Structure 1
Amino acid sequence: MSKKKQVYICQACGYEAPKWMGKCTNCNEWDSFVEDIVDKNLKLNTCSKVGNNEPIKLADIQIRGENRTTTGMNELDRVLGGGLVKGSLILVGGDPGIGKSTLILQMCQAIGSQDKEVLYVSGEESVSQIKLRAQRLDVETEKLNLLSETNMTFIEAQIKKNTPDMVIIDSIQTIYSENITSAPGSVSQVREVTHNLMNIAKRDDITIIIVGHVTKEGSIAGPRVLEHMVDTVLYFEGERHASFRILRAVKNRFGSTNEIGVFEMVDKGLVEVKNPSEIMLAGRPSNVSGSIVSCSLEGTRSVLIEVQALISYTSFGMPRRMATGIDYNRMVLLIAVIDKRGGIDLSSFDAYVNLAGGIKVNEPALDLAIVMSIVSSFRNKHIDQHTIAFGEVGLSGEIRAIGMPEKRIIEASKLGFKKCIIPMANKIKLNKFSEIEVIGVENISEALNYIN
C-alpha cells in the first residue's frame, strides 16, 4: 500500500517543511506555505530507476549545429538570438493582459507558413475563444491545431499522437499532473508539469513555449525554480494601458541576455518597432528646461531616450523624490552628488525624474543626462535640443568612461543631433566625427556649463 505523508510547501521557493510556518526560513516570504500530500513510494520508485546513459568523452561528441526556425518577427528573433532552437523549452512571462498570447498567436502564423505543425494547448480559453482572437489577428494558417485541456497526461498523449514541430502551453499555471495531489498553479504542480515538458522537448526535439503569469512582485507566479528548468526566459514589459511593449531576455542558453525587442499594440495585434529611438523622441518639446536626450545600449542596439526632470520648491520639511524608469536609489545618489560636488542645495525642493516612453533602464550611462536635466530644471534654463549626453557619474563628481561610445554617437548623428557630451576618457580614444561635435568633460561642473 502506498505510504503518504503530509508536508507544507512554500509557494515562492519550493521549500518543504513538516509543519505550517508563517514565514519561510529559506526565502523569508510571509504566509506562503500550502498543505500538500507526498507519496513516498512514488518518489522512491522514480529515484530507483537506472538509466541507460553512459558518459561520453568531450572529443567524441558530435555537434549538430543549432537548427533555428524564424518566428516571422525580427524583434522576437533578435531577442531569441536568431530564432527558435529545435528541442528548446522557452518561458514567456508577463502581467495578465500584456499581450503574451497575442504575440505567440501571431508567431504561429509565421511558423505555420513554413509548413511546420503547431499544437496550441490552452488551459484558460476554449477553442472558440482562441478562434475569435485568431480572426481578429488575421491568423489563418492550417498548420495550427488548437486543444483546450488542463490534464498533463492527456496533453502528453496528444503530443505523442500528432508529433507537432512546436507546442505552446498557455498557461503553465492551469496545467496539472495526476501524480501530484496539490491544486494547479502550486509549486509541486508547476514543477512536475515543467519537468515533463522538458523531457518531451529534449527527447522528441520539439520546441515548447510555456506562458507564465507574473505576480505583483514581478516574479513568475508559482515557483522561482521554474526559471532554472527552462532554456530561455523572456519577460514582456510595459504598462497594460500603454501602446508600447518591451520583450526582454532574462535567460538565454542560445543567445545574449542583453537584447530587447520593442512592439506596439494596435487593433490588429502587435507591430514591430524597428527604430525605437524615433518613437521614444516623438513629441519631444523644444527649448524646455529639465529635458535632455541620452543613449542607452541594449545588447547590440542603441536607443535614444529623453530624460526629463522637474524641480519644484516645497514648504514641507521632507522634500519628495520620485523616479520613473530609473532606479530610485540611483536618483537620490545623484542628487547628493549635485549637492556636494555641484554646490546646488536641493534640500528644499521636490525632485521628479522620468524617462519618456515608458522604458526602464538601469545602465549608469544615463547618469550625466539625469544630473544635467535636474540642474536645468532647477535653474529654469533649457539645454540645446540638438545636444545629447551620456556618461557615468562617480561620488566625487567625476565623469567615468562607458562602453561602446561610438555606437551611441553614430545613433545620435543619424537622428540629427549636432553636439554630444561624453566622458573625457572616451573622447581621447575616439576617432573624429564630421557630422557631430563631440565634447569631453571630466566632472559635472564642466558638463553643467553647457546649460544655457
Structure 2
Amino acid sequence: MTKKKDKTIFRCKTCGTQTPKWMGQCPDCGDWDSLVEETLVVRIPGVAGAGRPAIAARPVPIESVEPSMSLRMCTGINEFDRVLGGGIVSGSLVLIGGDPGIGKSTLMLQVLSTLAKAGKKCLYVSGEESIGQLSMRGKRLGSLGRSLFVVSETDLEAILAMAEKDDYDAMVVDSIQTVFHPQVTSTPGSITQIREASMQFMRLSKTVGLPIFLVGHVTKGGAIAGPRIMEHMVDTVLYFEGDKNHIFRILRAVKNRFGSTNEIGVFEMRDQGLTQVPNPSAVFLSERALVAPGSVVTASMEGSRPILVEIQGLVSTSGLGTPRRTVLGLDSNRVALIVAVMEKRLGMNLAGLDIFMNVTGGVRITEPSADLAIAAALASSFLDRPVHKETTLIGEIGLTGEIRAVSHAQARIKEAAKMGFTRCLVPTATMKQLSKIKGMAIESVSFLRDAVEVLFEG
C-alpha cells in the first residue's frame, strides 16, 4: 500500500497569498520570486500540541466584562510608553521590526532592564546570541538586574515550557525568525514556522496574561519578513525607523489595539545605548543655518506631539538630458505635484532643473501640512533668497494653488513659539480656529502666490 503524499501549495513570503503551482510573480502583491513551497499537512497526529488541550470558552455579556485597558505596566522609558499608548498592556503580543543594526535588540534589553530594576521578573530569549554575548552587551549598556533572566534557545516548545513554568511579567523573543517547532516540517524562518510560532506565542500571551515582544527581521522593501498574517495576529506592530548613518531613531506604531497609531518615540543612539529625546524639535533644529536659501521650518504632527523639522530644497542647473529628482524624508509623488503647481500657478520654470529635497535628522514626513514649506524651500532656492530665520509655515496646497486648512494648527504654532519663532504663515481657513499666542505674529494666505509674495516681498 502506497503512502499518501502530503499536499503542497506555494505561498507568497510577502503577502501570504496561496497558489496551487509556482509562479515567478505573486498574482496579488506583484513581488517577484516570492512564492515558496509549503506542505499543508505539517503536524504529526497526536504529537504536536500534546498536553495543551483546548479550553472551552462560554460567551458572556460584554457589559459584565471588566475592561483591562487601564492595567498597564510602565517601563520607565517615556518615549517607549508613549508609542504603546501609555505602557505595556497585560497579555499583549507586540511585534517590533526594523533594519539590521537599527537598535531593536538594544531597546528590548533596555526595556527589560528597567522593568527588572523596578522589581519585575523578565525573560529575554535570544536565538541569535549566546548568553555570554548578551551579558557583554548588557554590561556595556548598563542593562542588568537580578530579576532579568536570559536564555539562548530556538525550540518553540522549550520556550513555551519555560514561560509557563515560571511566573514572568514580560518576555522578549529575539528573533521570531529563529524560532522553530520541532514537529513542523519546514526550516526555521519559513512562512509555516513563523506563522506557527506567532500563533503559539499569541495563545500563551492571552491565556497566561504575559506580555510578549517579538523582534522581527525586515525584507529589502522594509516590511517585516513573513506573510502579512503575522501582523494581523499580533496586537501591536512597531517599526524602528532611521538611517544608521544618523544618530536619531524613531519608533513608530503602525498598528495598536490599545492606543493611537500616530504616536512616535524619538531616541538617540549613543555608546551607552538608546537615549530618550524629550524635545525632538530642539534637537532637529540644533544645526540649522539661520540664513540660507532653500531652508524652511514647518511643524509636523506626530500623534499628539508637534515636532518642528527643517525642510531643505535645492534647485540647480541640470547637466543631464533628464533632470534628477531626489527626495529624502518626503513623499516623492507629493513633491512632484507641488513642483507642477509651482510651474503652472507661479510661472517658475522648474521642468529642466535638478531638484533635491531633504528633511534633516533622518525624519520622514508624510502629512500634507508640509506642502507650503516644501514649495517655499523650492522657491527660496530657485530665487536664491532665504526665508526669514524666525518664520515657520504650515498648509496644504491644492492643484489650483489654494492653501488648504490643516489640523491641530494651534498646537503647531504653540510649539513654534516655544522654540523662538515669531512669525507663522497659515491658511486663511485656519484663522478662525486660532487664538492669540504671545510673541507670535500669525499671517494668513489663501493661495500659493500670496505666500510667495509675503515671504519674498513680491
Shift of 1:282: 1.1
Is the 2:102–2:244 Cα contact (8 Å) retained in structure 1? yes
Structure 2 residue corresponding to 1:168, chosen from 172, 177, 183: 172
* Paired amino acid for 1:400: R
Q: Which amino acid in structure 2 is aligned with residue 81 of structure 1?
A: G
Q: What is the 5 A alignment of 1:266-415?
A: 266-415=270-419
Q: Which residue of 2 aligns with 1:249?
A: 253
Q: Which residue of 2 aligns with 1:31?
A: 33
1:201 equivalent in structure 2? 205
CA–CA distance in structure 2, aligned partners of residues 402 and 257 of structure 1: 19
- Does residue 451 in structure 1 map to residue 453 in structure 2? no
CA drift at 1:69: 0.8
Contact 1:420 1:437 in 2 (8 A): yes
Distance 1:288 1:259, change over 3 A: same
CA contact (8 A) 1:2 1:41 kept: no
Aligned to 1:61: 65
Residue identity in the other structure for 1:451: F
Task: Report if the CA contact (8 A) 1:2-1:39 is conserved.
Answer: no
Give the Å deviation of 1:36. 2.8
- State whether structure 2 residue 114 is matched by structure 1 residue 72: no
Give the Cα separation in 2 of the matches to 1:139 and 1:347.
54
Instruction: Name the aligned partner's letter for residue 456 of structure 2.
Output: I
> Does the alignment pair 1:8 with 2:10?
yes
Decide whether the 8 Å contact of 1:36 with 1:181 is kept in 2: no
Q: Name structure 1 gaps, 5 residues minimum.
A: none
After superposition, what is the alpha-carbon deviation per residue over 1:72-116, rounded to whole angstroms, capped at 9, x for unaligned?
Answer: 111001101110011100011101110000001111111102211
Deviations 1:16-56 (A, max 9, x none): 3333222222332221222233327768999xx98521222
CA contact (8 A) 1:5 1:40 kept: no
Q: Deviations over 1:313-346 (max 9, x none)?
A: 1243322111111000110100000000111111
Q: Which runs of 5+ in 2 are unaligned?
A: none
User: Taking structure 1 as reference, are residues 145 and 434 closer, same or farther at Cα in structure 2, changes over 3 Å only?
Assistant: closer
For residue 225 of structure 2, the aligned residue among 215, 221, 228 is 221
Query: Following the alignment from structure 1 to structure 2, what is the Cα–Cα distance between the partners of residues 175 and 386?
Result: 53
Q: Deviations over 1:60-81 (max 9, x none)?
A: 3233453111111110011011
Check whether the contact 1:243–1:264 (CA below 8 A) recurs between aligned residues. Answer: yes
Residue 22 (1) aligns with residue 28 (2): no
Mapped to 2, the partners of 1:422 and 1:26 lie a distance apart of: 42
* Deviation of 1:218 (Å): 1.1
| Identity fraction in percent | 45
For residues 374-432 of structure 1, the C-alpha deviation after alignment (integer angstroms, 9 at most, x for no partner) is 01111111111010011000000000000011101110101111110110111133222
**Counterpart contact for 1:8–1:17, Cα < 8 Å:** yes
> What is the aligned partner in structure 2 of residue 240 from structure 1?
244
Q: Aligned AA for 2:293?
A: S
Query: Which deviates further from its counterpart, 4-13 or 69-78?
Result: 4-13
Provide the aligned length of Structure 1 versus Structure 2.
Answer: 450
Q: Give the corresponding residue for 1:121.
A: 125
Cα gap change, 1:303 to 1:40, in 2 (>3 Å): closer
> What whole-Å deviation, never above 9, does each CA across 1:273-297 have from its counterpart, x for those lacking one?
0100011111111221111110100
Distance in 2, Cα, partners of 1:400 & 1:166: 46
In structure 1, the residue matched to 2:429 is 425
Deviates more, 1:125-134 or 1:431-440: 431-440
Which letter does structure 1 place at the counterpart of 2:356?
Y
SS of alignment partner, residue 40 of structure 2: strand
How far apart, CA to CA, are the structure 2 residues paired with 1:104 and 1:41? 32
Q: Secondary structure at the match of 2:450?
A: helix
1:4 partner SS: coil
Distance 1:252 1:413 in 2: 32
* Mapped partners of 1:17, 1:43: distance in 2: 25
Q: Is the 8 A contact 2:43 2:183 kept in 1?
A: no
In the TM superposition, residue 2 of structure 1 has moved relative to its aligned partner by 8.2
The one-letter code matched in structure 1 to 2:28 is N
For 1:286, the aligned partner's letter is L
Aligned equivalents of 1:7 and 1:174: distance in 2? 23
Q: Which amino acid aligns with 1:401?
A: A
Q: Which amino acid aligns with 1:12?
A: T
Report the secondary structure of 1:108's partner residue: helix
Given the superposition, is the C-alpha separation of residues 213 and 66 from structure 1 closer, same or farther in structure 2, using an over 3 Å criterion?
same
Q: TM-score, normalised by structure 1?
A: 0.96
Which aligned pairs between 1:62-141 and structure 2 lie closer than 5 A?
A: 62-141=66-145
Q: TM-score, normalised by structure 2?
A: 0.94
Partner of 2:195: 191
CA contact 2:42–2:185 (8 Å) conserved in 1 = no
The SS at the match of 1:39 is: coil
- SS class of match (1:357): helix
Contact kept? 1:2, 1:40, Cα under 8 Å: no
What's the offset of the Cα at 1:140? Answer: 2.0
Q: 1:17 to 1:347 in 2, by over 3 A?
A: closer
- What amino acid sits opposite 2:79 in the alignment? E
Contact 2:69/2:258 (8 A) holds in 1: no
Equivalent residue in structure 2 for 1:152, among 131, 137, 156: 156
- SS of the equivalent of 1:66 reads coil
Letter in 1 for 2:259: G
Q: Which amino acid aligns with 2:434?
A: L
Q: Distance in 2 between matches of 1:314 and 1:376?
A: 18
Give the root-mean-square deviation of aligned CA atoms: 1.8
Structure 1: how far apart are the matches of 2:212 and 2:54? 27
Per mean C-alpha deviation after superposition, the further-off stretch among 338-347 and 11-20 is 11-20
Q: Which amino acid aligns with 1:405?
A: A
Report the Cα distance in structure 2 between the residues aligned to 1:303 and 1:150, rounded to whole angstroms.
Answer: 41
